[in-house]
């Protein structure tokens, strides 16, 4: 969703998607991101910045048990986990998302932006201290660099050798490494080109799914992640071939598929009716809400595969046998066939929202910007509030963003050029020093941020020697 906002921020508005937060002057998509990110902010350990790996229930419960059954207690994963794919780097993943969120929300809510950046930096430090490397570290470092402009984060990103950051491919900061940016851009265009080939040449039905992979959970109802690659390809290049392929894949989801079915409840002439939603099953399948994108066709790779009683019953007992059907026609409309009729946020609903939103908005002209009632957002980068510094000169750096345009920034009453990053070196006195940034936007809205730091200057070597001599002299006289 943050990438969607980055690509189409000039077309993302408040009251756009009919959600309860409408009217708060914040684009709806960012309100949705906020709800998801808040969960992970609560899972961050305040002691060391590490992020716990999520929550889970002790048991699933039966089909006839309400989701809110109090017997199904939750537990929380630890901060450093292993699964079949290796280490789960929740802290690095969170750091990337929170850093991107900080710069996205800054023009609308500076306080939440500051909270997110502080949390991202602490999570990144924890992740690096606990062996985050490769793509995990690269993604987080790239996002933190784009948000703060700090050279250390860019050095970390470059040192990983991974060139797969979509944000870095779009980064506009002057210090961005041109070769690394070009490599990231080439990476995403190569992925988009693969997906275009699948849509235009390798699939009988024009769908962005990889034709060489097995049709598993959600793989029969659209390209999902691969369609998102097409969106990124269009955002980076403006080449209409990518947008056309996105629209073909959307058509596939809505009915241009071997079964002529829509895979989204409430949409199309033959939408899902018996999908796996426990509360609806208990309540008799009445008032099915629209917008659930289910898994759809699910194919076994061979007769020896065993997916459990519920699956095997349908595959072996129906006539004609489900295994005899072409794989993209292997669909049974029953909640008990979970592999076909379930859904998840990460596999179907969120990608579906992003892809359909992109297909709808990308061809449209940007709307006339609404009146700007909000002041510019000021994000403190260095030095952080309450920090102790040991230099008489300190560089104050901030990021300032606005819904429309920032026209003036002052750091400690001195006008400072830049955008979106601003920096100025300030002389500090011994003890507590107050720092202040004032910003004004094109609509005349003003914002002021004040914070303090403590300057603890080291005693000059000569002064220390004099004190030692005086103390020695006093002892001699005694």
Give phi and psi for 414, each to the nearest 5.
Answer: -110, 120
**Residue closest to 221 by CA, chosen among 234, 231, 240, 208:** 208
**Same structural domain, 113 and 205:** yes
CATH, residue 422? 2.60.40.10
Q: Which of the four pLDDT bands, split at 50, 70 and 90, describes residue 21?
A: confident
Q: What SS3 class is residue 234?
A: helix
Would you say residue 48 has pLDDT above 80? yes
Q: Nearest-CA neighbor of 2 among 350, 469, 391?
A: 350
- Is the residue at 129 inside a domain? yes
Same domain, 356 and 392: no
Task: Give yes or no: residues 243 and 163 share one domain.
Answer: yes
Q: Do residues 112 and 68 touch, judged by C-beta distance below 8 A? A: no
Same domain, 352 and 441: no
If you ran DSSP here, which 8-state letter would residue 252 be given? H
How high is the pLDDT of residue 468?
47
- Kindly report the CATH number assigned to the domain that includes residue 19: 1.50.10.10
> Which pLDDT does position 83 carry in this prediction?
65
Q: How many helices (H) and strands (E) does the chain have?
A: 15, 12
DSSP 424-446: EEEE--SEEEEEEEEEEETTS-E
Q: Are residues 248 and 385 in the same domain?
A: no
Residue 168 lies in a domain: yes
Q: Quick one: DSSP state of residue 46? A: T
Is residue 458 domain-shared with residue 349, that is, in the same domain? no
CA 475/CA 478 separation, integer angstroms: 5
- With CA atoms as reference, report the closest residue to 215 among 336, 354, 330: 330
pLDDT for 288 equals 86
Question: Is 437 contained in some domain?
Answer: yes
Residue 34 counted as domain residue: yes
Residues 350 and 431 in one domain: no
**CA-to-CA distance for 38 and 97, rounded, in angstroms?**
11
Q: CA quadruple 197, 201, 202, 204: dihedral positive or negative?
A: positive
**Residue 452 and residue 354 in one domain:** no
In terms of domains, do 240 and 387 share one? no
Burial class (CB in 10 A: 0-12, 13-18, 19+), 267: middle
Task: Name the packing angle between helices 90-105 and 28-42 (round to 10°).
Answer: 140
42 and 95 share one domain: yes
Is pLDDT above 80 for 61? no
Please state the rounded mean pLDDT for residues 41-68: 85
3-state secondary structure of 260: coil
Residue 426 is part of which domain span?
377-462
Comparing 424 with 18, which gets the higher pLDDT? Answer: 424
- Select from 329, 361, 393 the last residue of a domain: 361
Number of folded domains that form the chain: 2
Q: Please report whether residue 429 resides in a domain.
A: yes
User: Phi-psi region for residue 407, left (φ > 0), alpha (ψ -120 to 50) or beta?
Assistant: alpha
Identify the top-confidence range among 73-87, 336-350, 399-413, 463-477: 399-413
451, 424: one domain: yes
Q: Which residue has the higher pLDDT, 345 or 224?
A: 345
377-414: pLDDT as tens digits = 999 999 999 999 998 999 999 999 999 999 999 999 99
Round to whole Å and give the CA distance between 270 and 46: 50
Query: Which secondary structure element, helix H or strand E, spans residue 2, and what is its range?
Result: helix 2-8
E-state strands within 343-420: 377-382, 388-389, 393-401, 406-411, 414-415
């Amino acid at each position: 969703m943050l990438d969607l906002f980055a690509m189409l921020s000039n077309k993302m508005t408040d009251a756009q998607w009919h959600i309860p937060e409408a009217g708060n002057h914040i684009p709806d998509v960012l309100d949705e991101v906020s709800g998801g990110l808040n969960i992970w902010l609560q899972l961050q350990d305040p002691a060391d910045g590490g992020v716990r790996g999520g929550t889970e229930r002790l048991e699933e419960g039966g089909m006839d048990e309400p989701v809110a059954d109090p017997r199904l207690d939750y537990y929380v994963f630890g901060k450093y986990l292993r699964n079949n794919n290796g280490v789960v780097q929740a802290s690095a993943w969170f750091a990337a998302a929170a850093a991107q969120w900080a710069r996205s929300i800054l023009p609308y809510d500076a306080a939440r932006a500051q909270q997110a950046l502080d949390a991202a930096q602490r999570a990144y430090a924890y992740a690096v201290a606990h062996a985050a490397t490769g793509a995990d570290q690269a993604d987080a470092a790239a996002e933190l660099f784009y948000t703060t402009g700090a050279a250390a984060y860019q050095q970390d990103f470059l040192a990983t050798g991974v060139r797969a950051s979509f944000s870095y491919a779009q980064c506009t900061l002057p210090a961005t490494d041109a070769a690394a940016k070009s490599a990231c851009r080439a990476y995403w265009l190569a992925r988009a080109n693969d997906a275009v080939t699948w849509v235009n040449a390798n699939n009988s039905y024009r769908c962005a799914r990889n034709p060489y992979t097995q049709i598993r959970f959600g793989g029969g109802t659209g390209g999902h992640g691969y369609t998102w690659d097409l969106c990124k390809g269009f955002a980076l290049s403006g080449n209409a071939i990518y947008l056309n392929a996105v629209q073909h894949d959307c058509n596939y989801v809505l009915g241009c598929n071997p079964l002529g079915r829509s895979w989204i409840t409430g949409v199309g002439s033959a939408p899902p009716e018996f999908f796996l939603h426990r509360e609806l099953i208990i309540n008799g399948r009445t008032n099915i809400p629209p917008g659930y994108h289910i898994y759809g066709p699910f194919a076994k790779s061979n007769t020896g595969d065993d997916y459990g009683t519920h699956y095997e019953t349908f595959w072996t007992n129906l006539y004609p046998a489900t295994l005899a059907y072409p794989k993209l026609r292997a669909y049974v409309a029953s909640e008990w066939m979970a592999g076909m009729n379930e859904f998840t946020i990460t596999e179907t609903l969120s990608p579906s929202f992003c892809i359909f939103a992109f297909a709808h908005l990308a061809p449209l002209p940007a709307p006339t910007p609404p009146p700007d009632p909000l002041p510019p957002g000021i994000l403190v980068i260095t030095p952080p509030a309450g920090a102790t510094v040991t230099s008489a000169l300190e560089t104050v750096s901030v990021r300032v963003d606005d819904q429309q345009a920032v026209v003036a920034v002052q750091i400690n009453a001195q006008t400072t050029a830049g955008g979106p990053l601003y920096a100025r070196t300030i002389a500090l006195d011994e003890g507590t020093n107050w720092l202040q940034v004032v910003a004004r936007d094109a609509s005349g809205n003003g914002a002021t941020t004040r914070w303090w730091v403590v300057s603890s200057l080291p005693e000059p070597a000569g002064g220390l020697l004099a004190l030692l001599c005086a103390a020695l002299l006093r002892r001699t006289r005694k």
